[in-house]
C-alpha cells in the first residue's frame, strides 16, 4: 500500500534557493545580452552555476563575495556564521577586471558560447590561491588533481546578483537529472521521513548495493542514490559509462518504492574531509537527513611522496564533529568483504574476528588486473550487466593511448629522442603523433610570444590536443621545453591517471650551449634574446618524472630505449 506524503528535512539555511528567471524575464534578457560584456566559463564553473541556480548550494544565492570567501577558506563558515566548507567562487583574469566596473551587468556563457546567466557585478576582489589550497585541500602538492588547476585560475573573483536564463541542456539520461525541488517532491510522495543519501564517483558494484540497502534499512527510510556526474578525478571511469551502470543497477536491483536515482552535476574538489561535509549539505538540499560516509571519502589518492593526502577515516571524524550543525547524520561504514562460506558481504573486522576467509578487490586491482587485461569481473564482486558494460569500454592496456612528454632545457635532446622513439613505437604497430615545440609554434600556437603567460598557453594548447589523442587511444609524443612545473601538472590532470609519462631530458646548460647550432644561448647571453630558458628565465625540473634521462651519459638511441623499457614495464607495450 502506498504510504502517505510526508514533510522532509528543511533545506540548509531554511529555504531552497531558485535563481531561474520566469519565461517573460528570460525573453527580456535575451534581447539585452547582446549589448553586455561576456565572460566564458569552463565546465567546473558551469556545474557550480547550475547547482547555485537550482538550490543545491543553498543558502548560497551567488558566487561568494570577499567576506564569505575568506571566512570559508579560514574557518569553514559564511560571514553570517553558517557552516560551509568549500569556497564557491567565480575567478577571472586581471585583463577581464580591467574591462568591467562594479554595478554593470555581464553575461556568463559556457565554453560553446551559450548564454547561461547574467550577473550584476557588485564585488571585485583578489583571491589568495595558495592559501586557498593550503586551507581547503591541506596541500600545495601538484599531485593533488585540483591544486594545479586552482593555482591557474584568475587572480580576481567577481560576485553579485545572479539571474539564470538557461540551465545546461542534457541529452543523456534526462529522466535522472532532477533538481533538488523535483527530487524532494518525489521523496515526499514515497512517504518516508528519513532519507539516506549515497554519493559516488565510481561504478556501483555489489558491495555498494549491500551498504546502501543496509543503510536504508537501518534508518527505516528511503534511499537516495546521488552519483556525481560533473567533473571528478582524472582517470575515473567516464561519466557516460558510469551513468549507464547506475541506470541498469537501479532499474534492475533496487526497490523503486524506497529508492530514487538522481544524477548530480557536481564538480568535485577531491577535498577529502571538507568535501564530505559539503556533500552532506548538498544532500540535505536534495531532501536527505542521513548521509553515508565511507573510508577516504572524496580522497584524491597519493601525493608526490607516495603517501595518502588524507587519512582513511579523517572525513568520517570531521563529519561527526559537525553533523548536528548541518542536520544530516552520518552513516559510517567500514570496509565490507565477501565471505564465500556465507555467500554474503560482512564487515572486514567481523570476518577477521570470526576467522572467515574473505575476498575483496580494490579499485586499482579492478582497473589493472581485470579491465586493462580484458578479464571479466567475478559475479560475487559485480552484477553481470556491469561487468559487460565495463568490458565493452575498457581495452587491454597495450591498446590504450598514452602521452610521452619530453621536457628539458633548449638543446637538451628532446626532439632528437622524440623522433627516434616515434619510429620505435611505429615499428611495434602503434600509430604515433609527434608534437615538436618548433612545429607547434608555427601552426598551433602561431601568434603567441615568449612571455610566461604565452608559454603556459602554448603548453596547455599542446596538452589539450595531446589529451584528445590519448582519449581516443592514440599515442602522442610531445617535445617541448615546457619550463613551468605547474603547467606540466595541468596537462597531467587532463589525462587519465598513468597516461601522462613525463620524461626529464636532463643536460647541464653548458652542454646545451655547446649543442646549440642556432646560437640562441649566445644571443641570450648577449642580451639579444630576452626571457630565454636557462639564461634569464628559470627552468623548473620535474620532481618525480616517470623517466629521467641524463643525455650526457646516454645517446639519443639509448635514451629512446630507456623510454621503451618503461612503457613495457607499465604494460603500454607488449614484451
Q: What are the residue numbers of the active site?
A: 482
What sections of 127-238 are H helices per DSSP? 129-132, 147-152, 180-190, 206-219
What sections of 287-393 are H helices per DSSP? 314-326, 348-354, 363-365, 384-393
- Rounded Cα distance, 508 and 29, in Å: 59
- Rounded Cα distance, 271 and 291, in Å: 17
- Rounded Cα distance, 148 and 540, in Å: 15
- Rounded Cα distance, 546 and 542, in Å: 9
Q: Is the peptide bond before 59 cis (omega within 30 degrees of 0)?
A: yes
Angle between the N-to-C axes of helices 273-286 and 180-190, in degrees from 0 to 180, rounded to the nearest 10: 70
Q: Where are the beta strands (DSSP E) in 128-256?
A: 156-159, 162-164, 195-198, 222-225
Q: Exposed (0-12), middle (13-18) or buried (19+): which is 470, by Cβ within 10 Å?
A: buried
Q: Exposed (0-12), middle (13-18) or buried (19+): which is 535, by Cβ within 10 Å?
A: buried
What sections of 394-497 are H helices per DSSP? 414-426, 437-442, 452-471, 485-493
H/E segment holding residue 30? helix 23-32
H/E segment holding residue 52? helix 43-54
Nearest CA to 143 out of 229, 270, 48, 228 is that of 270
- Rounded Cα distance, 99 and 119, in Å: 15
Q: Match 630507456 to its residue by C-alpha cell.
A: 562
Nearest CA to 71 out of 25, 26, 135 is that of 135
Q: Match 628565465 to its residue by C-alpha cell.
A: 537
Q: What is the DSSP string of 392-417?
A: HHPPPGGGS-EEEEEE-STTSSHHHH
Nearest CA to 56 out of 184, 161, 243, 233 is that of 184
Q: Phi and psi dihedrals of 259, rounded to 5?
A: -135, 140
For residues 288 and 197, the answer to whether their CB atoms sit within 8 Å is yes
Amino acid at each position: 500500500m502506498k504510504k502517505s506524503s510526508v514533510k522532509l528535512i528543511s533545506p540548509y539555511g531554511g529555504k531552497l534557493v531558485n535563481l531561474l528567471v520566469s519565461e517573460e524575464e528570460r525573453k527580456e534578457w535575451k534581447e539585452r545580452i547582446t549589448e553586455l560584456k561576456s565572460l566564458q566559463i569552463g565546465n567546473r564553473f558551469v556545474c557550480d552555476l547550475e547547482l547555485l541556480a537550482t538550490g543545491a548550494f543553498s543558502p548560497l544565492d551567488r558566487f561568494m563575495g570577499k567576506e564569505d570567501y575568506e571566512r570559508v577558506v579560514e574557518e569553514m563558515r559564511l560571514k553570517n556564521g553558517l557552516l560551509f566548507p568549500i569556497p564557491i567562487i567565480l575567478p577571472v583574469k586581471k585583463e577581464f577586471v580591467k574591462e568591467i566596473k562594479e554595478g554593470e551587468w555581464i553575461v556568463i556563457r559556457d565554453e560553446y558560447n551559450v548564454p547561461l546567466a547574467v550577473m550584476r557585478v557588485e564585488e571585485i576582489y583578489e583571491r589568495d590561491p595558495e592559501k586557498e589550497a593550503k586551507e581547503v585541500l591541506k596541500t600545495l602538492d601538484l599531485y593533488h588533481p585540483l591544486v594545479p588547476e586552482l593555482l591557474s585560475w584568475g587572480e580576481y573573483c567577481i560576485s553579485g546578483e545572479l539571474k539564470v536564463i538557461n540551465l545546461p541542456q542534457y541529452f543523456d539520461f534526462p529522466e535522472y537529472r532532477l533538481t533538488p525541488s523535483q527530487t524532494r517532491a518525489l521523496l515526499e510522495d514515497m512517504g518516508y521521513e528519513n532519507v539516506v543519501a549515497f554519493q559516488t564517483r565510481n561504478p556501483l558494484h555489489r558491495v555498494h548495493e549491500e551498504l546502501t540497502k543496509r543503510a536504508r534499512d537501518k534508518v527505516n527510510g528511503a534511499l537516495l542514490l546521488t552519483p556525481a556526474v560533473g567533473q571528478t578525478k582524472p582517470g575515473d571511469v567516464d561519466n557516460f559509462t558510469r551513468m549507464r551502470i547506475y541506470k541498469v543497477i537501479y532499474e534492475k536491483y533496487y526497490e523503486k518504492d524506497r529508492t530514487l536515482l538522481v544524477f548530480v552535476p557536481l564538480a568535485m574538489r577531491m577535498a577529502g574531509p571538507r568535501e564530505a561535509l559539503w556533500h552532506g549539505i548538498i544532500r540535505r538540499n536534495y531532501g536527505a537527513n542521513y548521509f553515508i560516509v565511507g573510508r577516504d571519502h572524496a580522497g584524491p589518492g597519493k601525493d608526490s611522496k607516495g603517501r595518502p593526502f588524507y587519512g582513511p577515516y579523517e572525513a568520517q571524524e570531521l563529519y561527526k564533529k559537525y553533523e548536528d550543525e548541518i542536520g544530516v547524520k552520518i552513516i559510517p561504514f567500514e570496509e565490507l568483504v565477501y565471505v564465500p562460506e556465507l555467500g554474503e558481504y560482512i564487515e572486514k573486522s567481523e570476518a577477521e574476528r570470526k576467522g572467515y576467509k574473505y575476498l575483496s578487490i580494490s579499485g586499482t586491482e579492478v582497473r589493472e588486473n581485470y579491465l586493462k587485461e580484458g578479464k571479466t569481473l567475478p559475479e560475487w564482486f559485480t552484477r553481470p550487466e556491469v561487468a559487460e558494460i565495463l568490458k565493452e569500454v575498457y581495452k587491454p592496456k597495450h591498446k590504450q593511448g598514452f602521452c610521452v612528454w619530453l621536457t628539458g632545457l633548449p638543446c637538451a635532446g628532446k626532439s632528437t629522442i622524440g623522433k627516434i622513439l616515434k619510429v620505435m613505437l611505429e615499428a611495434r604497430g602503434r600509430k604515433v603523433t609527434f608534437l615538436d615545440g618548433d612545429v607547434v609554434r608555427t601552426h598551433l600556437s602561431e601568434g603567441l610570444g615568449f612571455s610566461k603567460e604565452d608559454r603556459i598557453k602554448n603548453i596547455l594548447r599542446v596538452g589539450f590536443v595531446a589529451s584528445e589523442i590519448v582519449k581516443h587511444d592514440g599515442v602522442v609524443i610531445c617535445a617541448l621545453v615546457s619550463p613551468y612545473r605547474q603547467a606540466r601538472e595541468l596537462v597531467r590532470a587532463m589525462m587519465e591517471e598513468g597516461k601522462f609519462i613525463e620524461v626529464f631530458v636532463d643536460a647541464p646548460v653548458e652542454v646545451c650551449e655547446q649543442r646549440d647550432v642556432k646560437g640562441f644561448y649566445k644571443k641570450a647571453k648577449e642580451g639579444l634574446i630576452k626571457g630565454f630558458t636557462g639564461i634569464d628565465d628559470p627552468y623548473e625540473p620535474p620532481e618525480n618524472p616517470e623517466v629521467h634521462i641524463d643525455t650526457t651519459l646516454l645517446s639519443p638511441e639509448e635514451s629512446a630505449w630507456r623510454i621503451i623499457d618503461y612503457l613495457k614495464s607499465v604494460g603500454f607495450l607488449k614484451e
